[in-house]
Amino acid sequence: MDRERLAAQLRLHEGVEHKPYKCTAGYLTIGVGRNIEERGLSDDEIDYILNNDVDIATSELASTFDWFAGLDDVRMRVVVDMVFNLGMPRFKQFQNMLAAIEAARLAGGRRPNDGLALGETSRSASGTPP
């Protein structure tokens, strides 16, 4: 079977929807006729979507903030997690945090008033998986 021709045929018959909608049978559907209420998503599809979303958040941070690439792994995961969950517009509302990150960068990696270099955390404050 010619899968490329089949895919083109299905796209023509089903249409392509980038956002969820109710199909004529009343099911929540997305993409090319994908019934996500009954079929759902496979683990591979979930991982694919997650990786794309992480790439988007990471790219937005890297293109918006000069300091992002200089963060250690823990802090980088924290800010990516925040943008992933909040979106960039809401993330930018954390003005005090952003100012502190910028101040630490300008101070050569030292956080204001605590003497710890970026990358150092107390055991009780880390709270993130290895």
Q: Is residue 106 part of a domain?
A: yes
Q: Is residue 7 part of a domain?
A: no
Q: Is residue 97 part of a domain?
A: yes
Distance from C-alpha of 129 to C-alpha of 26, rounded to nearest angstrom: 41
How many independent structural domains does the chain possess? 1
Q: Residue 59 sits in which domain range?
A: 43-115
Q: Is residue 31 part of a domain?
A: no
Distance from C-alpha of 98 to C-alpha of 72, rounded to nearest angstrom: 15
pLDDT of residue 111 exceeding 50, the answer is no
Q: Is residue 125 part of a domain?
A: no
Give the DSSP letter string of 5-69. Answer: HHHHHHHHHH--EEEEEE-TTS-EEEETTEETTTT---HHHHHHHHHHHHHHHHHHHHHH-TTGG
pLDDT single digits (tens) 20-79? 999 999 999 999 999 999 999 999 999 999 999 999 999 999 999 999 999 999 999 999
Distance from C-alpha of 93 to C-alpha of 106, rounded to nearest angstrom: 21
Q: Is residue 53 part of a domain?
A: yes
